[in-house]
Chains A and B, each alone.
Chain A
């Protein structure tokens, strides 16, 4: 009987072998089916292993492989936290592989995608399994590079090269921050294994520095504002099933890194750490969804929405830190469980939505929502599952998104118990931000679904669309079913998450399985409870009754008449409500302040036959206020230093000489 961690490592080895196989067979026509079939099977096995070890409450297992640094080896460990994230990774991997079986056949250059896809999956698995800093960083970089290669798979498209460049720069920066964080964590002894790091006491300033570095390192990978800039460029640039993995799964691996270091390795947290994470999370959530609302490109909209969800997760984690620092174990467990539940939910519905966007992309060739529309008639199944994803991500009952956000707000409501005034004020304020983000998310996905699937087709491509193949549909229907099941049976998920909360926080939420009628009760019955199944039954019954009454009492005669067109009877599809017009109220309220949005009407003079045009100017505050000055500074110094390349031999010698003398002088003065 091999240990669970060895089992997972064998799966990783199998994935790496698949990479080799993909390189060997990349020119063959069957290689798409072979590679995705293999990754599907391996991910399914790894998922089963991770779920078993999570549900069976098995103890942590460790393994040391004799590779890597000679005196250290490579440590791997599978505990409850790792098992949960392995389940998320491999579930996403299995779904993306299944989708890839169909989607991959439309790929123009499969040999650029196939070898990196299993490698990317292997990298994400390895990061979660790693148990020493060296292995962790190595696997982290491996994951980043594999995903970078996938982003660059269509490198001839103009924007993709820039996306890849920005991604590479931000990934290197993030890894640098992680490297420094682990350097601080290892202390003076320089012990790189996580087990040794847990035993080291850190001064408050050191702990604060590690937290800041982790927010930079893991936050840049997860997409915290203002480190998110690469994400809406890179995620949509990859093929859609890879976009789903990057958005739905890789950001979760970054969340895992943050939890592993801040909750597990760093020791007891301080409440001020909680405030920082909380505020960052709240701001990220609102900014992310506002960006998403302004977006016309379907895949970029989804990428921005990922930023919002990461904000929600980080806000919950901040709450957990704040409660943990004050010794409120139950409330901390509640907030932490809410964060993990949201991680799981987001991996379901964001993968589903990216698959839907990929389906639209394959059948129409369009990502711009202003050129879509009316797809509900041509792609009924895709539309239905996309609608499920939209309802779930908008946090509407009875789907899963509602449960995790509801749990988080239950944790927010515990904040009056906290002793610090700062927290007493900030937690409800961030709670209000999150509520705003949830409402804006609903508006955003009304727009995404309405403009893409409803109305009339805005382009010939949208008119000629057809339903996608059965593999893609199977992957999407499976994820939609999971969204629904997690929504009506949340107690099971919460109970499955309890060993993770127990291991990390030291407390767990009350057992939910014993509650009557599958209700969930986060604190106690008298305060709050939720029952997804009852809500679902009520919605179904009420809707059925309404339909019945309408059909029973309405006139049977079918009447056809002209639809009221708000006074406009222009038959052109371009005159429909568009995405830009849908968000105009929100753009005027929020965009004027944040994006400096302004509208200009270009009205031709009488007699001129030009059409009048409405132009909207928007500015990205993060690019313009933060990144542009930074890049300009770098360029300024690079230009100055560039002249050093063209000195005479004597001047180079003089430079060396001057440096040497300066160093000697410094030594003479301060030694």
Chain B
């Protein structure tokens, strides 16, 4: 039983990393949002599995929050925003896919090497979980860095938060309060950034953050 539990947790966390990789090469916004929803679903499954094997019913709440907010409400809302802004046909000029994927692999290798060495004394389940969580966080940052569009930067930021939630649930005894606050912080960040996007739309007629720089008279 223990080995099976470990394997499934491992599988789900690994799946999260895999979906993070998928985000790296999406150059259309709708596709990116769909992948993000899948990311959140896998996160919810992973958290639920942790709740099951740790006998921690409060983690189910976290799983439900992840599923409802991140997998349904936020992607749907972002879909609407993209449609309202009329940018669903834009193709993002991200950094080339090849270098991005290579960089992503390097980051995952780095987090594995680091976490497995640093947490030598910890429970093997928590070790693997933390290593994967760090990978997800770093990949989320990489998404934010390689995108120019504000919507995809928001998505990168939220996948980063997903990594944090994975780390928080992997460690035993994390109080519920923190998860709720994390979820709410994401929601608030989403609202703020959503409002922000509309203001950009009003004044610049695009959500490309490059336009902000042009307005300030800066070179790219």
Which residues of A pack against B, CB within 8 Å?
646, 648-650, 653-654, 656-657, 660-661, 664-665, 667-668, 671
Contact segment of B66-74, B78-86, B209-217? B209-217
Question: In the complex, what distance in Å separates the CA atom of A656 from the CA atom of B111?
Answer: 17
Least distance between B161 CB and chain A CB atoms (Å): 15
Contact segment of B46-54, B56-64, B138-146? B138-146
The 3 closest A-B pairs by CB, nearest first: A668-B114, A648-B213, A654-B145
Least distance between A644 CB and chain B CB atoms (Å): 13
Which residues of the other chain, A, contact B107 by a CB distance below 8 angstroms? 661
A650 and B110 within 8 A (CB): no
Question: In the complex, what distance in Å separates the CA atom of A649 from the CA atom of B208?
Answer: 11
25 contacts between A and B (CB under 8 A): A646-B216, A646-B218, A648-B209, A648-B210, A648-B220, A649-B153, A649-B212, A650-B144, A650-B209, A653-B145, A656-B141, A657-B141, A657-B145, A660-B138, A660-B141, A661-B107, A661-B110, A664-B111, A665-B110, A668-B110, A668-B113, A668-B114, A671-B114, A671-B117, A671-B118
Which residues of the other chain, B, contact A661 by a CB distance below 8 angstroms? 107, 110, 138
A667 and B145 within 8 A (CB): no
Least distance between A669 CB and chain B CB atoms (Å): 9
Which secondary structure dominates chain B's binding surface?
Answer: helix
From B117, B141, B147, give the contact of A668 (CB < 8 A). Answer: B117
Tell me if B88 is interfacial: C-beta within 8 Å of chain A: no
Which residues of the other chain, A, contact B10 by a CB distance below 8 angstroms? none
Which residues of the other chain, A, contact B141 by a CB distance below 8 angstroms? 653, 656-657, 660
Least distance between A528 CB and chain B CB atoms (Å): 71
Question: In the complex, what distance in Å separates the CA atom of A281 from the CA atom of B145?
Answer: 57
Which residues of the other chain, B, contact A653 by a CB distance below 8 angstroms? 141, 144-145, 153
Which residue of B141, B212, B216 has the most chain A CB atoms within 10 A of its CB atom?
A: B141
* Known A648-B212, A657-B144; 18 more pairs at CB < 8 Å: A648-B209, A648-B218, A648-B220, A649-B153, A649-B209, A650-B144, A650-B145, A650-B209, A654-B145, A656-B141, A657-B141, A657-B145, A661-B138, A664-B110, A667-B118, A668-B114, A671-B114, A671-B118
From B113, B138, B148, give the contact of A650 (CB < 8 A). Answer: B148
Which residues of the other chain, A, contact B144 by a CB distance below 8 angstroms? 650, 653, 657
Which residues of the other chain, A, contact B142 by a CB distance below 8 angstroms? 657
Least distance between A18 CB and chain B CB atoms (Å): 51
Inter-chain CB contacts under 8 Å: number: 45
B134 nearest CB neighbor, chain A only? A664
Question: In the complex, what distance in Å separates the CA atom of A668 from the CA atom of B138?
Answer: 15
Chain B 195-213 interface residues, beta-carbon cutoff 8 Å to A: 209-210, 212-213
B112 nearest CB neighbor, chain A only? A668
Which residues of the other chain, B, contact A660 by a CB distance below 8 angstroms? 138, 141
Which residue of A653, A654, A660, A671 has the most chain B CB atoms within 10 A of its CB atom?
A: A653
Least distance between B207 CB and chain A CB atoms (Å): 12
Which residues of the other chain, B, contact A664 by a CB distance below 8 angstroms? 110-111, 114
Which residues of the other chain, B, contact A668 by a CB distance below 8 angstroms? 110, 113-114, 117
Least distance between A61 CB and chain B CB atoms (Å): 51
Q: A649-B209, A653-B145 are in contact. Are A667 and B114 (CB under 8 A)?
A: yes
Which residues of the other chain, A, contact B138 by a CB distance below 8 angstroms? 660-661
Residues 92-117 of chain B, each 1 if its beta carbon lies under 8 Å from chain A, else 0: 00000000000000010011011001
Question: In the complex, what distance in Å separates the CA atom of A648 from the CA atom of B209?
Answer: 8
A646 nearest CB neighbor, chain B only? B218
A648 nearest CB neighbor, chain B only? B213
Residues 144-176 of chain B, each 1 if its beta carbon lies under 8 Å from chain A, else 0: 110110000100000000000000000000000
Question: In the complex, what distance in Å separates the CA atom of A665 from the CA atom of B110?
Answer: 7
Which residues of the other chain, A, contact B148 by a CB distance below 8 angstroms? 650
Which residues of the other chain, B, contact A657 by a CB distance below 8 angstroms? 141-142, 144-145
B147 nearest CB neighbor, chain A only? A650
Least distance between B95 CB and chain A CB atoms (Å): 10
Question: In the complex, what distance in Å separates the CA atom of A348 from the CA atom of B218?
Answer: 63
B217 nearest CB neighbor, chain A only? A646
Question: In the complex, what distance in Å separates the CA atom of A355 from the CA atom of B148?
Answer: 69
Least distance between B88 CB and chain A CB atoms (Å): 22
Question: In the complex, what distance in Å separates the CA atom of A646 from the CA atom of B215?
Answer: 12
Question: In the complex, what distance in Å separates the CA atom of A671 from the CA atom of B117?
Answer: 8
Chain B 9-28 interface residues, beta-carbon cutoff 8 Å to A: none
Which residue of B113, B114, B145 has the most chain A CB atoms within 10 A of its CB atom?
A: B145
Question: In the complex, what distance in Å separates the CA atom of A664 from the CA atom of B110?
Answer: 8
Least distance between A481 CB and chain B CB atoms (Å): 70
Which residues of the other chain, B, contact A667 by a CB distance below 8 angstroms? 114, 118
Question: In the complex, what distance in Å separates the CA atom of A664 from the CA atom of B118?
Answer: 11
A656 nearest CB neighbor, chain B only? B141
Least distance between B45 CB and chain A CB atoms (Å): 28
Least distance between B158 CB and chain A CB atoms (Å): 15
Question: In the complex, what distance in Å separates the CA atom of A82 from the CA atom of B141?
Answer: 59
Which residues of the other chain, A, contact B218 by a CB distance below 8 angstroms? 646, 648
Question: In the complex, what distance in Å separates the CA atom of A648 from the CA atom of B144?
Answer: 13
Least distance between A157 CB and chain B CB atoms (Å): 40
Which residues of the other chain, A, contact B110 by a CB distance below 8 angstroms? 661, 664-665, 668
Least distance between A650 CB and chain B CB atoms (Å): 6
Least distance between A655 CB and chain B CB atoms (Å): 10
Which residues of the other chain, A, contact B212 by a CB distance below 8 angstroms? 648-649
Question: In the complex, what distance in Å separates the CA atom of A650 from the CA atom of B144?
Answer: 8
